[in-house]
Amino acid sequence: MRIKFNMRNRYMIMIDMALTIIAVLGAYALRLELGALFFFYLPSAYWMIAVSLLIKIPIYYLFSLYRRLWGYASTRELRLIFLAVTSASVLVSAVMILLLTFKVFNGFPRSVLIIDWLLSIFLVGGTRFAIRLIADNVSTAANSMKKRPAKRALIIGAGDAGAL
């Protein structure tokens, strides 16, 4: 069976890759305050960036974060983002601890894993809901520019079809 890749959200993949790098470096910077320890642990940060990129993006894809219309996002999508980021962060944590066990790098502060998880939820979720806010503002502006009165409509049904 061949999986067809939806290119509609290809820009979201690139944004998520950038956000993943920002989250990891931000976690190290918040934990180590850009001092001498930050540069000491920088090799482990590079490893964590590589591991995060290899794990988080496919996990987000498996959780269908790239097959959604974020202009219609709701709390259900927020829960999905939470589950996807948490699952990916658990796998990243396991791999990083495994790499530490095999002495691939000199060590790293374990609290970075939790800070990265929090930053990832904030950045990934914030980006998607910013898209929702922009879509709402654009549609509101477009409706206010129309001169004719709006027609009232009753939508029967629920779910995605009703939102569309």
Structure token digits, residue 48 = 């964590």
Confidence of residue 153 (pLDDT cuts 50, 70, 90): confident
What share of the chain has pLDDT > 90, as a percent? Answer: 54
Q: Answer yes or no: is pLDDT of 2 > 50.
A: no
Looking at residue 134, what is its pLDDT?
A: 83
Q: The whole model's pTM is what? A: 0.79
For the segment 109-146, what is each residue's pLDDT rounded down to a tens digit?
A: 999 999 999 999 999 999 988 888 887 777 666 666 66
pLDDT in tens, 68-124: 776 676 778 889 999 999 999 999 999 999 999 999 988 899 999 999 999 999 999
Better pLDDT: 151 or 110: 110
- The alpha carbon of 118 is separated from its chain's Cα centroid by a whole number of angstroms, namely 11
Contact, 108 vs 100, CB < 8 A?
A: yes
Q: What is the pLDDT of residue 129?
A: 86
8 Å CB contact between 86 and 56: no
pLDDT band at 67 (very low <50, low <70, confident <90, very high): confident
Task: Please give the pLDDT value at position 4.
Answer: 46
pLDDT at 136: 78
Residue type, 82: F
Contact between residue 116 and residue 21 where contact means Cβ atoms under 8 Å apart: no
